Amino acid sequence: MDKKIKATGSVVEAFSNLLHVRFDGNIRQGEVAKVKVGSVELLAEVIEIAGQIAKIQVFEDTRGIKLNTAVEFADHLLEAELGPGLLTMIFDGLQNPLQKVAEATGVYLSRGVYIAPLDRKKHWDFHPIAKVGDVLKRGDALGSVPEERFSHTIMVPLSFFGKVKITSVTKAGSYNIDTVVARGEDEKGRAVEFTMVQRWPVKNALIEGRKVRPTRMMDTGLRILDTQFPILKGGTFCSPGPFGAGKTVMQHHLSKYSAVDIVVIVACGERAGEVVEVLRTFPELTDPHTNEPLMQRTVMICNTSSMPVAAREASVYMGAAIAEYYRQMGLDVLLLADSTSRWAQAMREMSGRLEEIPGEEAFPAYLPSRISAFYERAGEVQFKNGKTGSLTIGGSVSPAGGNFEEPVTQASLAIVGAFHGLSRARSDARRYPAIDPLISWTKYLNEVGVDLDPKYKGWADKVRATALILKDSDEIGKRMEVVGEEGVAIEDMLTYLKGELYEFCYLQQNAFDKEDAYSPLDRQIEMFALIQKIFDTRFEFDTHDAARTFFLNLQNELKNINFLPYASEKYKEALREIQKKIALKEGKVHA
């Protein structure tokens, strides 16, 4: 954070963590400032400038700040430090490595302690790619180093604009990140040096390449998502739900099972207990796709509800910048923000202190544009070498009282490509995941259908038809609550039972069962095809009780299949038995 001081000032007013500073010199909005409180320097950010008065928000507790407290402005915006060593790390919203901060200050973190995000002592095996005489631009590869199981590209910094002619490249060897790995001359003949580390303003989108339309499915292992409401690599989704509906649990599942290269988790305003649980369990988990420790592909940004509220906004943008950086290497990245509601609450608090005209529910009028700008940082990017990288963004939303009409949920729905609405009633009924299929939707079904058509012809049309069965089943169920089972036609009763079977046997999963917690795509297709066979079969029953008894037995048999190892002999035998049972019962009368 130490750079040339550009301007100085002193505090003239203070409102909690919002300070009014009279300054001399030139500053800009978003610039980092340092507030000197005794021997401690507290970081802050300029959020508004009016004449010679700058309004800055301090990221720490502001005890001890008084009239004429000195402030220094640094000549840079709030930045992320990007380079080898980000994976496996746990940062706060300002990219301080929390473990190192705890080692320096003890269990209770002290304010004003800022530690370099990346390890300066660790050496990396550098392999040069660029050659002397090459003319490169921002984002072009200078070399690479192995980081966990990935090849980490050392590139011309994204903050470098123009062209550079390489004059020397460091030979292959083991170096720390501050080692100069390449030198060159820019278009004006000035000498430039490049190390393994670069910096980027977190609130600016980091991208070099051409955005393309996402087409590849992101396999999550959750049947209700992959089948009914799929997500694309490079797409966006949000998961609103009331307290206790399972938003955080679902995001934990996505972080473990999603078929991506890198996962960036941003705990923005979450309860400390939930974050501590993640920090304890994650290092012990194994990546089901590689059988390697899950932390090797994970970066965590932790800004709990007990931490200063001003840093919440920074944590979301910090996560986005790190995720975009790995996308530039041609990797598939998933960014999970939990929760965007508490990020919006932080914006509302700052807006109130700035005395801005409030919008709906006192949120700032610019809330929708801020949320849109965040989700728009997602996407699939194609580079000039033909490779692509993707960034998928998923945000959980915590609407007060489960009201999906509130501003944060509505602003999210206006921009995302998939909506996974969670229900407290389904959660209380122990249905996992508690996504309500009657209110959820996705814009990506056609793209997924094209991808899966070779394995299952007409996938998208079948999924839409199944959604209609669920809707009809729900309406018939409500009618039966009034008139009873005997009060509806047998055909309607069968529609109701088919919807119940699909819900119970397919859309619900057992998170504690090894086989059912993660359902591979091939297994989903096989099970979905079997259920479609049941839907298409014309059954005939004499009584409502006979129909219910048959479908309850079928439910139990189908549910038990989910707990058998896929492609095992027991699984195949159980599948054959169900198929035989359906064939024998087709068109027959059952008393």
CATH number for the domain harbouring residue 172:
2.40.50.100
Buried b / exposed e along 440-479 (16+ C-beta atoms within 10 A): bbbbbbebbbebbeeebeebbebbeebbebbeebbebeee
Domain limits for position 545: 459-590
Same domain, 441 and 463: no
Same domain, 292 and 247: yes
Same domain, 63 and 10: yes
Same domain, 582 and 499: yes
The answer to whether residue 454 sits within a structural domain is no
Same domain, 188 and 279: no
The answer to whether residue 243 sits within a structural domain is yes
The answer to whether residue 107 sits within a structural domain is no
Domain end among 196, 231, 251: 196
Task: Give yes or no for a contact between 310 and 102, defined as CB atoms under 8 angstroms apart.
Answer: no
The answer to whether residue 537 sits within a structural domain is yes
Which CATH number fits the domain that encloses residue 543? 1.10.1140.10
Domain end among 77, 93, 113: 77
**Number of structural domains in the chain:** 4
Same domain, 390 and 502: no
Q: Using the 8-state DSSP alphabet, how is residue 170 labeled?
A: P
Same domain, 361 and 433: yes
**Tens of pLDDT, residue by residue, the chain (591 residues):** 444 557 999 999 998 889 999 999 999 999 999 999 988 999 999 999 999 999 999 998 899 999 999 999 998 999 999 999 999 999 999 999 998 998 898 878 888 899 999 999 999 999 999 999 999 999 999 999 999 999 999 999 999 999 999 999 999 999 999 999 999 999 999 999 999 999 999 999 999 999 999 999 999 999 999 999 999 999 999 999 998 888 888 988 999 999 999 999 999 887 777 788 787 888 888 888 888 889 999 999 998 777 777 788 899 999 999 999 999 999 999 999 988 999 999 899 889 988 899 999 999 999 999 999 999 999 999 998 889 999 999 999 999 888 999 999 999 999 999 999 999 999 998 899 999 999 999 999 999 999 899 889 999 999 999 999 999 999 999 999 999 988 999 999 999 999 999 999 999 999 889 899 999 999 999 999 999 999 998 888 889 999 999 999 999 999 999 999 998 999 999 998 888 888 877 655 443
Domain end among 163, 196, 229: 196
Beta pairing class for 70-77 and 31-37? antiparallel
The answer to whether residue 158 sits within a structural domain is yes
The predicted structure's pLDDT at residue 446: 95
The predicted structure's pLDDT at residue 586: 66
Task: Give yes or no for a contact between 240 and 397, defined as CB atoms under 8 angstroms apart.
Answer: yes
Which CATH number fits the domain that encloses residue 20? 2.40.10.170
Which CATH number fits the domain that encloses residue 297? 3.40.50.300
Same domain, 368 and 233: yes
| Separation CA 51–CA 515 (nearest Å) | 64
The answer to whether residue 60 sits within a structural domain is yes
Task: Give yes or no for a contact between 202 and 79, defined as CB atoms under 8 angstroms apart.
Answer: yes
Same domain, 370 and 235: yes
| Separation CA 185–CA 166 (nearest Å) | 7
- Token pair belonging to 541: 């029953």
The answer to whether residue 441 sits within a structural domain is yes
**Angle (CA) 202 208 212, round 5°:** 110
The predicted structure's pLDDT at residue 590: 44
Q: Using the 8-state DSSP alphabet, how is residue 378 labeled?
A: -
Same domain, 135 and 252: no
The predicted structure's pLDDT at residue 258: 95
The predicted structure's pLDDT at residue 587: 53
Cis preceding linkage at 433, omega within 30: yes
Same domain, 322 and 420: yes
Same domain, 348 and 414: yes
The answer to whether residue 105 sits within a structural domain is no
